[in-house]
A and B are shown apart, each in its own frame.
Chain A
Amino acid sequence: MNKKNRLQPYLITTLILLAALVLSFAVGSVFISPRTMIDVLFSAVRGEASALDPNGVYLKIITDLRIPHAVLLMLAGAALAGSGGAYQGLFRNPLADPYLIGVSSGAGLGAVAAMMIQWPYTTLGLMVVPAAAFAGGILTVLLVAQLARVGKTVPTTNLILAGVAASAFASALTSALMINSTGELRRALVWMMGGSTQTGWGPVWGILPYMVVGLCGLVIIGHPLNVLQFGDEQAQQLGIRVQRVRWYTIAIATLSTAAAVAYTGIIGFLGLVVPHIVRLVWGGDYRRLIPVSMLGGAGLLLLMDVIARSVIAPQEIPVGIITALLGGPFFLWILKRSKSQNYW
């Protein structure tokens, strides 16, 4: 890739993300046109009441509901797509993603367990859920990697089978926990299907510290992951401390996934689909693939969410249902294509 084209992937994904943001602010139970939005926001900055929004309702909807909701989804989309790319590189396996290898479900179990003790309302309480999700996620990924390993490699079929089994197990425990809960069942159910039920800035502050560490941590592992594509032995002969890279990647990708799962629930396929699109279009250099996947994941999840909020408006479908509906067929297409193409 020549130097002129190096910025192209970042530019395109950023443009998609910006467009998705505008849509996301506009669409909802009340439609706010971009013109109104701009007027309302600029008036607020100037400290005046907007002529289009004399009561300040639109402003309140945008700043208290739509912006935090969009930020939450952007962070979740970036985390899922970025960690999906990292898992694929680490396991040298095109099918690895936080959902398929069971990390999402494990993190979900951890999060639900924490929510069952007390549904979080304070910021400190909100930060406990991602921590519990991280614990659940890391236990699951270790279990899955251990079960799937044959000698020193992790074959695709084993990884997926172990992931699906662990995922089913964790989901069953999650369901059992929720059945036994008295109050918040519907909320938890929507959450599990990948819908953010908490509104406002609380959840954003709750996951932000984890996201900052996780997303920054993911961006810097591109080069070691590139070297790892040649196998552990060659990576070590090139001076990479393979075990250290492995543990670091698992920890940081799982942290990101857990932070995403904590308040947006279990959103499947995003971590699988986005890195593959990036790989198909711009190649498999992980130094580019991971940050570009994050931008793309953030934009794509926002778009999916706009669809989820508008197909049967004013009712909202959990966004996880939409990502699975669209991601499922795409996944099948990848499976078919990966047999013949040499992009992986």
Chain B
Amino acid sequence: MLEVKEITVGYGEKPVLKELSFRIPEGTVLALIGPNGSGKTTFIRAASGIIPLQKGSIRVEGHDLHKMNSQEVARAIAVVPQARSIPPAFCVEEVVALGRTPYLNWLGKLSDHDQMIVDRVLEQTDLAAMRDRNVAELSGGEQQRLFLARALAQEAPLLLLDEPTTHLDLQYQVNLMQRVYRLAHPSNAELAAGIKARTVVVTIHDLNLLSRYTDLVALLVDGRLVEMGAPAEVLRPDLLSRTYHLALDVIKDASGYTLVTPADDPTDL
């Protein structure tokens, strides 16, 4: 469970997030949406302990983030960064093993238990076949999956993903979001195998992926929470058009999922 209570966060004097509050139960995928500069990435950085809170508190499963040291934070919260630059010196398995860092001392020696988790995560993310490949040879989608695997190896109950779909083609976008959904909603077989349901916060720009793969959507504008609820409640044409300064239509596809599309007609421009 993630509980965010009246947090104010900023760089210098001007706050980027203002009195932000929400809570989401375990096993939920929350999408953070909003225009560029609305504070989505700042939230990820604040929630992972990179920038301090000026006010308020963040609790993960009841534990206050600011009473933890950095190792404890890394065991409670795992971040999947955007896969933009990746040091080429490592193979896939080595990078996934770095996810065990919060459980290791400076020597970084993996125990049998650590290795077992690395193996399981490699299987879970379909990376086992390429475990010895140099990471520089991976495609963008594979690199993003690699970072997801590293975060899973942290075994943290809360996962934060910072615009994971931005640089991916449609196939990888859908593939990644399917995996993310599955992490919060594991199958019975996975639950029996000891895999726990994760709580996931994902920042994302593509509004059409939301209603399929997320449980909740929070709309941030200018550092404030404007609306939060099920995708269909937040994805309203009036609200979105106002937020993005753009005429938008919201339609349902054949399966009943919500899609957002521009309402203009380019031949009129």
A residues lining the B interface (CB < 8 Å): 1, 92, 220-224, 226-227, 229-230, 233-234, 236-241, 279, 283-285, 287, 342-344
Contact = CB atoms under 8 A, between A and B. Distances in A.
28 contacts: A1-B91, A220-B106, A221-B106, A223-B101, A224-B106, A224-B108, A226-B98, A226-B108, A227-B98, A227-B101, A230-B87, A230-B98, A233-B81, A236-B48, A236-B70, A237-B78, A238-B98, A238-B101, A239-B70, A239-B73, A239-B75, A240-B101, A284-B90, A285-B90, A287-B108, A342-B134, A342-B136, A343-B89
A284 B107 contact: no
Given A220-B107, A229-B90, A233-B45, 13 more contacts: A221-B106, A222-B107, A224-B106, A227-B98, A237-B78, A238-B74, A238-B99, A239-B73, A239-B101, A241-B70, A284-B89, A285-B94, A342-B134
Given A221-B106, A223-B104, A224-B106, A237 B98 contact: no
Contacts, number: 81
Nearest to A279: B89
A203 B87 CA distance: 40
A241 B70 CA distance: 7
Contact of A237 (B50, B72, B104, B106): B50
Contacts of A220: 106-107
* 7 nearest CB pairs, A to B: A284-B89, A223-B108, A239-B74, A239-B102, A229-B87, A239-B71, A342-B136
B74 A223 contact: no
A248 to B, nearest CB: 9
B49 interface: yes
A270 B206 CA distance: 51
Contacts of A236: 48-50, 70
Given A222-B108, A227-B98, A287-B108, A237 B87 contact: no
Interface in B190-226: none
A238 B49 contact: no
A238 B134 CA distance: 21
A237 B49 contact: yes
Interface residues of B, number: 32
A264 B225 CA distance: 64
A223 B104 CA distance: 10
B62 interface: no
Interface string B51-79: 00000000000000000001111110111
Count chain A CB atoms within 10 A of each CB in B73, B86, B87, B104 and give the residue with the most: B87
A268 B109 CA distance: 34
Contacts of A287: 107-108
A236 B90 CA distance: 19
Contact of A285 (B71, B86, B89): B89
B135 to A, nearest CB: 9
B154 A238 contact: yes
B88 interface: yes
B87 A284 contact: yes
B128 to A, nearest CB: 15
Contact of B89 (A224, A237, A344): A344
A220 B109 CA distance: 11
B70 A240 contact: yes
Count chain A CB atoms within 10 A of each CB in B74, B75, B86 and give the residue with the most: B74
